[in-house]
A and B are shown apart, each in its own frame.
Chain A
Amino acid sequence: MYKSLVIDPAKCTSCLQCELACSFENEGVFNPAKSRIKVFEFEHGLTTIPYTCTQCEEAWCLHACPVEAITVNAQTGAKEVNDSICVGCKVCTIACPFGTVNYNSSTGKVIKCDLCGGDPQCAEVCPTDAIVYVDADWTGYSKMRDSALEAHA
């Protein structure tokens, strides 16, 4: 059983450490604009929701890629972008109905969550356990995966 990022918005304080850790781990810069996880604020910050790829079973991005640049990491189950193969066509960015694949204009490639190879830094740095990396099998976490299937029907 793969582990998953499980997010509890009620615990999020919008400190944005997840965005900084993500961009630093993956892009080498502290730049939330290049983070693969994004914290959305509602009601001027009264409610905040961290949001990223759920590595959905349906893998719309992977299926839509015309050059097999997105593959499944057998260890983590993450759908990973191979930069040396990605041509930057962006088809995956419109194919993903969750909006979790983004185009990075400075590299000409797409970026998405790859679970940091099994040690996701967003969960690592989250001070309130709003983001945890746990066995996916647990309590009620199937909503987005289910909606991936509904979206197809």
Chain B
Amino acid sequence: MHHVIVGAGPAGVIAAETLRKKSPNDSITLIGDEPYPAYSRMALPYLMAGDVAEDGTYLRHAENHFESLEINVLNDSVSQVHPADHSISLKDGTGISFDRLLLATGASAIRPPIGGMDSPRVHNCWTLTDAHRILSEVKAGDRVVLLGAGFIGCIVLQALVEMKLELTVIELADRMLARMMDGPGGNMIERWCQAKGVKVRTGTAAKNVVEKNDSLEIELGDGSSIVADHIVCAAGVRSNTGFLEGSGIKTDAGVLVDWNLKTNIDNVFAAGDVAQGPDRSTGEQQVHAIQPTASEHGRVAACQMAGDPMPYGGSLSMNVLNTLGLITSSFGLWDGIDGGDSTRVEDQPHNRYLRLEFRDDVLVGALAIGLTQHVGILRGLVQTGVRLGEWKKRLMSDPSQIMHAYLAKVQGTRA
């Protein structure tokens, strides 16, 4: 049996390792198209901030890790998939046949469709190559505009501040982190950033960029403009599905997969940022381009490929973020559901916030700012759907009792 895995990020690497464990005698080929050992995008901001060297971003540290597992690693890119022939084509036309195929090709950074984004002073911040380029071309004291204050933008923001840049953040939505934080939470983060010397402009978009002398003029939707030395673009990412055109493998925003991470084609699976699989909270197929989903998908898909399926209830949308020292997390349906109940406690002076959302007496979503102790319990409660019974009422009046509610209901201890 030959397993071919396309993509050497967390999902691909974990799938390869899991397959080796489950199927000691099968052959495994892992194909990555970046000129580095397998690395983690999550770790790039820490490279930019100077906390770690390049090897600190690597997914695995042992020398000859993949050789020792007899995983054949190819540095190449895949141009086409031919499900009927059980084969793929590499860029140079070479064919590789497979018995099982995992698509783990991840996502790529996108740029807003405005003029001037092709300037060499505009940088993405998504790959190791992007990070190296920013580090070599952007110098302390430079004026930098960060386009986008979503999850990736805010992680990058932290690194850019540590690089001692004069930073302005432009966000189209009415608040920072619009997809992982509500109004009160987003405003708390924005005030925090402003207080730390970062200029934040929400509710406005860059309309055009003009290169002038040795700088950029960024024209905004509100008619004003900003002059900067560089733009760092964190306007979002898109699943890498282009090479599947004409293959018969169904795609939407990503590769459509079922609860077992199978595509519509037998023996072809997808995992991680490229996969659009069931969301645990809603059952709808969604791309969750987050590290925990990539690692879970990698394991679940590999178990399927090895013929030893593990139960999987879909991926849970969740994030954790450090924005200049303010720790933020979000879980599941944090914006609530129709007919559900909501409770929140907000401590503006101390920058603390906790919001819980319920369906009946089940926690379905949560937001937290400033919570660093036992925060995973929010995932545990959302994921297991445990009925909180009388504890729901207590949580409605004091959300901070969440750990107590968990111990009482899940660990079965009294009180």
Q: List the interface of chain A (C-beta within 8 A of B).
A: 9, 38, 40, 42-43, 46-47, 49, 51, 60, 63-64, 66-68, 85, 87-91, 93-103, 105, 108, 143-144, 147, 150-153
Contact = CB atoms under 8 A, between A and B. Distances in A.
B374 A99 contact: yes
B34 to A, nearest CB: 15
B410 A147 contact: yes
What 5 A-B pairs are tightest by C-beta distance, nearest first? A97-B380, A99-B377, A42-B415, A99-B374, A66-B40
B91 interface: no
Contacts, number: 140
B372 A47 contact: no
Interface of B: 10, 14, 40-43, 46, 51-52, 56-61, 291-292, 295-296, 299, 310-313, 318-320, 322, 325, 327, 329, 331, 372-380, 383-384, 403-404, 406-408, 410-415
Contact of A47 (B46, B313, B415): B415
Contact of A67 (B43, B310, B312): B43
Given A97-B377, A102-B373, 13 more contacts: A47-B414, A49-B413, A51-B407, A67-B59, A87-B56, A89-B42, A89-B291, A90-B322, A90-B327, A94-B375, A95-B376, A151-B383, A153-B313
Contact of A152 (B40, B313, B410): B313
Contact of A94 (B14, B292, B322): B292
Contacts of B372: 90, 93, 102-103, 105
Given A43-B415, A94-B329, A152-B313, A66 B375 contact: no
Contacts of A144: 411
Contact of B46 (A38, A40, A42, A89): A89
Contacts of A105: 325, 327, 372
A35 to B, nearest CB: 10
A90 B320 CA distance: 7
A67 B56 contact: yes
Contacts of B327: 90, 103, 105
B65 to A, nearest CB: 9
Given A40-B403, A87-B51, A144-B411, A67 B374 contact: no
B329 to A, nearest CB: 6
29 contacts: A40-B407, A51-B407, A63-B295, A64-B292, A66-B41, A68-B61, A87-B43, A87-B56, A88-B322, A89-B46, A89-B291, A90-B322, A93-B329, A93-B375, A94-B319, A94-B376, A96-B379, A97-B380, A99-B373, A99-B374, A99-B375, A99-B377, A102-B372, A102-B374, A103-B372, A108-B51, A147-B384, A151-B383, A152-B312
B43 A66 contact: yes
B376 A49 contact: no
Contacts of A153: 311-313
A80 to B, nearest CB: 14
B379 A94 contact: yes
Nearest to A94: B320
A140 to B, nearest CB: 11
A67 B40 contact: yes
Nearest to A42: B415
B116 to A, nearest CB: 33
Nearest to A102: B373
Contacts of B404: 40, 42
Given A90-B320, A94-B292, A94-B375, A143 B412 contact: yes
A85 B56 contact: yes
Contacts of B415: 42-43, 46-47
B399 to A, nearest CB: 15
B376 A89 contact: no
A144 B318 CA distance: 23
A31 to B, nearest CB: 13
B14 A143 contact: no
Contacts of B299: 63
Contacts of B325: 105
A88 B320 contact: no
B59 A95 contact: no
A95 to B, nearest CB: 5
Contacts of A60: 376
A143 B318 CA distance: 26
B413 A97 contact: no
A151 B331 CA distance: 15
Nearest to A64: B292
Contacts of A47: 413-415
Contacts of B57: 67
